[in-house]
Chain A
Amino acid sequence: MARITFIQNDGTERVVETEPGMTVMEAAVKNSIPGIAAECGGACACATCHVYVNDAWREVTGQPEQMEEDMLDFAFDVRPSSRLSCQIKVTDALDGLVVRIPDKQF
Chain B
Amino acid sequence: MSDDVIKTDAVIVGAGPVGLFAVFELGLVDIKAHVIDILDRPGGQCAELYPEKPIYDVPGLTVVTGQELTDRLTEQIKPFGAEFHFSQRVESLDRFDGGGFTLTTDLGKTFECKVVVIAAGGGSFTPKRPPLPGIERYEDISVFYSVRKMENFKGRDVLIVGGGDSALDWTLNLQPVAKSLTLLHRRQDFRAAPASVQKMFDLVERGDVTFKLGQVTELHGEDGKLTSVTVKAPDGSSFEQKTEVMLPFFGLTMKLGPVANWGINLDENLIPVDTAKFETSEKGIFAIGDINTYPGKLKLILSGFHEAALMAQQAYHYVYPDKKLVFQYTTSSSSLQKKLGVK
* A residues lining the B interface (CB < 8 Å): 39-40, 43, 45-48, 69-70, 72-74, 76-78, 104-106
Contact = CB atoms under 8 A, between A and B. Distances in A.
Given A74-B251, A78-B186, A43 B50 contact: yes
A104 B186 CA distance: 17
Contacts of A76: 130-131, 215, 250
A69 B131 CA distance: 20
Given A39-B253, A73-B250, A104 B49 contact: no
A18 to B, nearest CB: 22
Given A70-B191, A78-B215, A40 B128 contact: no
B6 interface: no
B129 interface: yes
B250 A43 contact: no
Contacts of B128: 74, 106
Nearest to A76: B131
B122 A74 contact: no
B130 A73 contact: no
B50 A40 contact: yes
B191 A46 contact: no
A46 to B, nearest CB: 7
A106 B253 contact: yes
Nearest to B50: A43
Contact of A69 (B189, B217, B232, B253): B189
B215 A77 contact: yes
Interface residues of B, number: 24
Contact of A73 (B53, B164, B217): B164
B254 interface: yes
Contacts of B272: none
A72 B162 CA distance: 11
B163 interface: yes
Nearest to A82: B186
12 contacts: A45-B53, A46-B251, A69-B187, A69-B189, A73-B163, A73-B187, A73-B191, A73-B250, A76-B215, A76-B250, A104-B131, A106-B250
Contacts of B130: 76, 106
A6 B251 CA distance: 27
Given A46-B253, A48-B253, A104-B131, 6 more contacts: A40-B49, A40-B50, A46-B49, A76-B215, A77-B217, A78-B186
Interface string B232-257: 10000000000000000011011000
A38 B217 CA distance: 23
Interface string B126-137: 001111000000
Contacts of A74: 128, 250-251
Contacts of A40: 45, 49-50
Contacts of B45: 40
A40 to B, nearest CB: 5
Interface in B264-319: none
A88 B50 CA distance: 19
